[in-house]
Amino acid sequence: DGGITQSPKYLFRKEGQNVTLSCEQNLNHDAMYWYRQDPGQGLRLIYYSQIVNDFQKGDIAEGYSVSREKKESFPLTVTSAQKNPTAFYLCASSSTDRGRAYEQYFGPGTRLTVT
């Protein structure tokens, strides 16, 4: 059963602590993405990776870090430098094959609350 998994579904942290959100896919996709969603807003791109061991900053990368050591995995670390980390975080993946529509498939999301 192919898809994208994110864990945990809910995460609570104290201010000042780093936290890592997990994202795994078994769709054999080369590209993976992290988005942040705030109430009443669309999705904003944090980081993306088109191939293993390479990633690029998105529109709101400050206070976040990522790694891409394996094709299947793209963990996101929310650092203490992120000023307003409470949000819903979504991971996605897509094929990079030519001739495809490059549609992105999403995981179920992780809701992070920092107090």
Partner 1 sequence: GEDVEQSLFLSVREGDSSVINCTYTDSSSTYLYWYKQEPGAGLQLLTYIFSNMDMKQDQRLTVLLNKKDKHLSLRIADTQTGDSAIYFCAESIGGATNKLIFGTGTLLAVQP
Supply the minimum distance, in Å, between the C-beta of residue 80 and partner 1: 26
Query: Is residue 109 packed enough to be buried (19+ CB in 10 Å), middle (13-18) or exposed (0-12)?
Result: middle
Amino acid, res. 71: K
Does 31 sit near partner 1 (CB under 8 A)? Answer: yes
Give the interface size with partner 1 as a residue count (CB under 8 A). 26
Q: Which is nearer to partner 1, 3 or 69 (CB)?
A: 3
Spatial contact of 61 and 44, defined as CB atoms under 8 Å apart: no
Stretch that binds partner 1, among 12-20, 61-69, 77-85, 91-99 (CB under 8 A): 91-99
Q: Which is nearer to partner 1, 80 or 111 (CB)?
A: 111
Residues, the chain, total? 115
Spatial contact of 77 and 66, defined as CB atoms under 8 Å apart: yes
CA–CA dist 90, 23 (Å, integer)? 9
Where do contacts with partner 1 occur on this chain (CB under 8 A)? 4, 6, 31, 40-43, 45, 48, 50, 56, 58, 90, 92, 94, 96, 101-109, 111
